[in-house]
């Protein structure tokens, strides 16, 4: 099988294989490493990671599908995740989501055709003191009202 | 006597996450002292004597948990730090990880020494990007100063730490699901017994402790068990505690107070009272969304493990949130049920299927398609999930459903009878 990742990604995974008392523990970190390079976890990537760890592709697929942070399809360059759980909902999360949908012309769960944005409502992000709260890639924003949201979006233009 | 914040003594200082600021405030002195003065057994005794109970949700005695490790030492022992803070309403561990990581790290080193482990895992929820970066840096700083690695402070004690990122699964906060995840699997909770202290990570004896619990171990090493046990409501509810409060409050946040602080003091003094003065308190959940709800009339409670148990709810993760009189309880419960339906790992049928049914029924009640029998149906389903699952996730959804429906039964019945949400109708007027 040809290696479907960059040599440095392959090396990073080799290093992960020696980090843990048992090799299997390298699976989640290896999936993160692949996703960082590719933006998502494809079938081909799962087969590759499976062969590195020494488990079946089906086992890897089972793990990937269990965790929400592994993306099976490409997400936008700006992946917007809006918390919808109760403390955020009590503080206007629904209004924030509605505003985002209108502003971006997108539905919940969609990736825009130009690949710039993806929008997803997610469960509790553990920042209820900053409700309504959202994450864009690995950056955190909260509390966010409509005006603040527009300002954030402007910064992404 | 005014209470002096101690878990949060550093968090507001600029650069609080750096080892220099931490050490300026006396950090790592407890470790230095413990490695010199305490054998591991003595440190376990000290933690037992402090009365420290786990801050993750179950409130089990930390010293006693450590005591369950087998006496034989033919296998490696592991310490796993549960930094998978995911219970809705809870954001206290995040504060410690981001703003005072060394307080946590010192507690990890002390606890690993106590349980004679030379490898610790820090399992942090994947969404905590900033927390993970901060903690990685803290670990590097601690290695550079000789607080981690080989022969720590000349004591002969070795400890390495591995940071492991979760990947978005509430269930991995359950300790055996966390172990499965650490082994690179789906986070399916394990059947207990055997308990992790006997058969844990990689089949080896393992202790899993919450972030705030470990921060408290630092304080115990620094100031002693007697000091710790004098705070709060001794003998069973001792020590300082981080309380989260969010929802309809003026100043949501993490507040430090002794265990046993009155809930109304947290709400009115620490959090500044209700957000909209014209809409008073309707209900509060004191311990995170899986705990039972209290109506406003019953909120005159003390915030500790045993007082809240006596009041028919639990301290849980101390992730409290409040709702004002403008809140539709059916809608609130729909939100909670949707969370648990999304996060159910799917291993046990009552939870996997039951959570979906609950969402379906609550959706139709809120939409105006409810049926008269729906109210009893909700309670019935909750009762059939509770006690019939491998892990406490079953209770985590059964308790809110049972309590919301019991306490606000008329509101649920009104939804079914009027075939509409009365609150929404009022808002539309």
Give the span between the Cα atoms of B187 and B61, in whole angstroms. 25
Say which of B125, B164, B345 has its CB closest to residue A126: B125
Give the span between the Cα atoms of A35 and A37, in whole angstroms. 5
Give the span between the Cα atoms of B196 and B194, in whole angstroms. 7
The pLDDT, as a whole number, for residue B424 is 78
3-state SS assignment for residue B320: strand
- CA dist list (Å): B68 to B87, B130, B174, B213, B245: 27, 34, 18, 17, 34
A53: which chain B residues are within 8 Å (Cβ-Cβ)?
184
Give the span between the Cα atoms of B141 and B137, in whole angstroms. 6
Confidence of residue B2 (pLDDT cuts 50, 70, 90): low
CA atoms within 13 A on the CB side of A68: 20
Cis peptide before B194 (omega within 30 of 0): yes
Query: Is the Cβ–Cβ distance between B244 and B91 less than 8 Å?
Result: yes
Q: Does B395 touch chain A (CB under 8 A)?
A: no
Residue B414 has pLDDT above 90, yes or no: yes
Inter-chain residue contact B184 with A24, CB threshold 8 Å: yes
Distance from CA of A58 to the nearest CA of B (A): 12
The pLDDT, as a whole number, for residue B1 is 45
3-state SS assignment for residue B61: strand
Residue to substitute from B79, B335, B400, interface A, most A β-carbons within 10 A: B335
Length of chain A: 157
Q: Does B325 touch chain A (CB under 8 A)?
A: no
Nearest of B37, B39, B15 to residue B27 by alpha carbon? B15
The pLDDT, as a whole number, for residue B3 is 85
pTM: 0.97
Query: Is the Cβ–Cβ distance between A111 and A76 less than 8 Å?
Result: yes
Antiparallel, parallel or unpaired: β A78-83 and B78-83: unpaired
The pLDDT, as a whole number, for residue B141 is 98
Q: Does A21 touch chain B (CB under 8 A)?
A: yes
Length of chain B: 429
Q: In sequence order, what are the beta bridge partners of A118?
A: A79, A111
Q: Does B253 touch chain A (CB under 8 A)?
A: yes
Residue to substitute from B80, B167, B180, interface A, most A β-carbons within 10 A: B167
3-state SS assignment for residue A154: helix
Give the span between the Cα atoms of B391 and B197, in whole angstroms. 17
Helices B92-99 and B129-144, interaxial angle, to 10°?
40
pLDDT in tens, B316-328: 999 999 999 999 9
A95: which chain B residues are within 8 Å (Cβ-Cβ)?
none
Could you tell me if the ipTM is greater than 0.85? yes
Inter-chain residue contact B87 with A131, CB threshold 8 Å: no
The pLDDT, as a whole number, for residue A1 is 63
Inter-chain residue contact B181 with A27, CB threshold 8 Å: no
Which residue does chain A place closest to B336, by CA atoms? A86
A&B contacts, CB < 8 Å: 133
Going B386 to B392 to B394 to B395, the CA torsion angle's sign is positive
Inter-chain residue contact A27 with B184, CB threshold 8 Å: yes
A25: which chain B residues are within 8 Å (Cβ-Cβ)?
164, 182-184
Distance from CA of B126 to the nearest CA of A (A): 7
Please give the average per-residue pLDDT across B421-429, as a whole number.
71
Inter-chain residue contact B86 with A53, CB threshold 8 Å: no
| Average pLDDT, 10 consecutive residues per value, chain A (157 residues) | 90 97 97 97 98 98 98 96 97 96 95 95 97 97 96 92
A32: which chain B residues are within 8 Å (Cβ-Cβ)?
165, 167
Residue B429 has pLDDT above 60, yes or no: no
Inter-chain residue contact B164 with A25, CB threshold 8 Å: yes
pLDDT in tens, B178-214: 999 999 999 999 999 999 999 999 999 999 999 999 9
Confidence of residue B425 (pLDDT cuts 50, 70, 90): low
Q: Residue written as tokens 């799962």?
A: A46
Query: Is the Cβ–Cβ distance between A44 and A82 less than 8 Å?
Result: no
Query: Is the Cβ–Cβ distance between B245 and B321 less than 8 Å?
Result: yes
Nearest of B348, B338, B330 to residue B394 by alpha carbon? B348
The distance in angstroms from the start CA to the end CA of chain A is 40
Which residue does chain B place closest to A59, by CA atoms? B185
Task: Spell out the residues 6+ positions from residue B256 whose beta carbon is closer than 8 angstroms to its own.
Answer: B3, B5, B6, B7, B8, B240, B241, B242, B243
A31: which chain B residues are within 8 Å (Cβ-Cβ)?
167
The tokens describing B26, both together, are: 């006396």
Say which of A67, A86, A139 has its CB closest to residue B335: A86
Distance from CA of B202 to the nearest CA of A (A): 7
Which residue does chain B place closest to A126, by CA atoms? B91
Inter-chain residue contact B167 with A32, CB threshold 8 Å: yes
Please give the average per-residue pLDDT across B240-262, as a whole number.
98
Inter-chain residue contact B168 with A68, CB threshold 8 Å: yes
Query: Is the Cβ–Cβ distance between B166 and B185 less than 8 Å?
Result: no
Q: Does B90 touch chain A (CB under 8 A)?
A: yes
Distance from CA of B340 to the nearest CA of A (A): 9
The pLDDT, as a whole number, for residue B428 is 53
Inter-chain residue contact A31 with B94, CB threshold 8 Å: no
pLDDT in tens, B47-104: 999 999 999 999 999 999 999 999 998 999 999 999 999 999 999 999 999 999 999 9
Nearest of B22, B195, B178, B185 to residue B109 by alpha carbon? B22
Q: Does A86 touch chain B (CB under 8 A)?
A: yes
Antiparallel, parallel or unpaired: β A78-83 and A134-136: antiparallel
Task: Spell out the residues 6+ positions from residue B356 whose beta carbon is closer than 8 angstroms to its own.
Answer: B341
Residue to substitute from B90, B91, B341, interface A, most A β-carbons within 10 A: B91
pLDDT in tens, B132-145: 999 999 999 999 99
Q: What is the mean pLDDT of chain B?
A: 96
């Amino acid at each position: 099988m040809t290696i479907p990742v960059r040599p440095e990604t392959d090396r990073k995974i080799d290093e992960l294989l020696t980090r843990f008392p048992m090799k299997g523990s390298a699976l989640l970190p290896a999936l993160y490493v692949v996703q960082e390079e590719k933006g998502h976890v494809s079938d081909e990537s799962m087969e590759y990671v499976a062969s590195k760890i020494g488990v079946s592709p089906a086992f890897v697929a089972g793990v990937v599908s269990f965790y929400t942070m592994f993306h099976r399809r490409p997400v936008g360059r700006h992946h917007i995740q809006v918390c919808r759980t109760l403390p955020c909902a009590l503080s206007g999360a629904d209004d924030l989501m509605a505003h985002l949908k209108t502003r971006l012309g997108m539905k919940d769960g969609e990736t825009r055709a130009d690949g710039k944005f993806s929008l997803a409502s997610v469960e509790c992000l553990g920042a209820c003191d900053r409700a309504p709260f959202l994450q864009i890639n690995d950056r955190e924003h909260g509390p966010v009202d409509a005006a603040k949201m527009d300002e954030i979006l402007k910064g992404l233009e | 006597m005014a209470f002096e914040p101690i878990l949060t003594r550093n968090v507001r200082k600029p650069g609080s996450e750096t080892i220099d600021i931490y050490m300026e405030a006396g950090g790592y002195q407890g470790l230095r002292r413990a490695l010199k003065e305490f054998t591991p057994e003595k440190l376990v005794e000290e933690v037992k004597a402090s009365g420290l109970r786990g801050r993750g949700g179950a409130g089990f005695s930390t010293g006693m948990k450590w005591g369950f490790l087998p006496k034989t030492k033919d296998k490696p022992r592991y310490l796993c730090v549960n930094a998978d803070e995911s219970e809705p309403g809870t954001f206290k561990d995040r504060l410690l990880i981001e703003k005072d990581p060394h307080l946590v790290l010192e507690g990890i080193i002390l606890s690993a020494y106590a349980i004679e482990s030379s490898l610790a895992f820090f399992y942090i929820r994947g969404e905590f990007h900033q927390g993970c970066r901060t903690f990685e840096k803290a670990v590097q700083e601690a290695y550079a100063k000789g607080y981690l690695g080989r022969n720590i402070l000349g004591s002969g004690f070795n400890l390495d730490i591995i940071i492991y990122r979760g990947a978005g699964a509430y269930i991995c906060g359950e300790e055996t699901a966390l172990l499965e995840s650490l082994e690179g699997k789906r986070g399916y909770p394990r059947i207990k017994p055997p308990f992790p202290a006997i058969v844990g990570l990689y089949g080896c004896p393992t202790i899993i402790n919450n972030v705030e619990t470990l921060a408290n171990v630092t304080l115990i090493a620094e100031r002693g068990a007697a000091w710790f046990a004098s705070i709060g409501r001794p003998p069973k509810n001792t020590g300082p505690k981080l309380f989260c409060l969010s929802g309809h409050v003026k100043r949501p946040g993490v507040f430090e107070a002794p265990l046993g602080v009155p809930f109304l003091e947290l709400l009115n003094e620490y959090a500044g009272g209700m957000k909209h003065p014209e809409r008073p308190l309707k209900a509060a959940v004191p311990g995170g969304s899986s705990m039972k709800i209290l109506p406003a009339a019953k909120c005159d409670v003390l915030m500790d493990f045993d007082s809240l148990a006596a009041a028919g709810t639990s301290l849980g993760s101390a992730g409290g949130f409040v709702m004002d009189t403008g809140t539709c309880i059916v809608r609130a419960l729909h939100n909670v049920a949707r969370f648990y339906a999304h996060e159910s790992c799917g291993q046990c049928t009552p939870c996997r299927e039951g959570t979906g049914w609950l969402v379906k029924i609550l959706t139709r009640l809120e939409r105006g398609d409810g049926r008269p029998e729906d109210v009893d149906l909700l309670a019935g389903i909750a009762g059939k999930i509770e006690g019939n699952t491998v892990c406490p996730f079953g209770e985590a959804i059964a308790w809110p459903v049972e309590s919301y429906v019991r306490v606000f039964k008329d509101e649920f019945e009104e939804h079914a009878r009027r075939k509409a949400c009365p609150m929404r109708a009022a808002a539309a007027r």
